[in-house]
A = this chain, B = another copy of it.
Amino acid sequence: MPERDRHVPTDPLAVSARLRSLPSRLLGRAAMHADRISNTHLAAAGATRWQYATLVTLRDAGPASQATLSERTGIHRSDMVAVLGGLAEAGQVERAPDPDDRRRNIVTLTPAGRSRLRALDHLVDQTQQELLAPLTPAERAELRRLLQQIDDHHSTR
């Protein structure tokens, strides 16, 4: 006796083609994977993405006030407080009042922070490899280029 199609089994994998091709949705999902991967790896080393971004910025652009660090990293200044708190507590960063403007803190990378950063650099590179595993080198470069165009376009305005 042939199966009566009660419920019309409705394959759960039948995702809408429109939904699957929406760029905003694809971006969200890819970013979700990226977040999960990099958070996992960084957490295993006892660090966070914000801490890494702050350390890199201090190394590449030099000591700066918290407000300047906020602009450079894109981390909100009210979140920067805790980030620097953690880094200072770990001795990777020094927060000293600016003698020329006592509203400011001048944040400096310590030797400990610098060596810590080298380890994290290595780790972050691995996460990028894992994230971009299915892409060829040329495709990775193209993806970077396209994403940078989108970010620039919506950031500068």
Chain A contact residues, CB within 8 Å of chain B? 6-8, 10, 12-35, 37-38, 53, 56-57, 59-64, 67-68, 71-74, 98, 100-101, 121, 124, 127-128, 131-135, 139-140, 142-144, 146-155
Copies in the complex: 2
Please name all residues of chain B whose beta carbon is closer than 8 Å to the beta carbon of A139 when the two chains form the complex.
146, 149
Q: Are B33 and A150 in contact (CB under 8 A)?
A: yes
Please name all residues of chain B whose beta carbon is closer than 8 Å to the beta carbon of A62 when the two chains form the complex.
8, 10
Bound-complex Cα distance A142 to B146 (A): 9
Give the Cβ gap from A41 to chain B, nearest Cβ, in Å: 10
Bound-complex Cα distance A81 to B11 (A): 21
Q: Are B38 and A24 in contact (CB under 8 A)?
A: yes
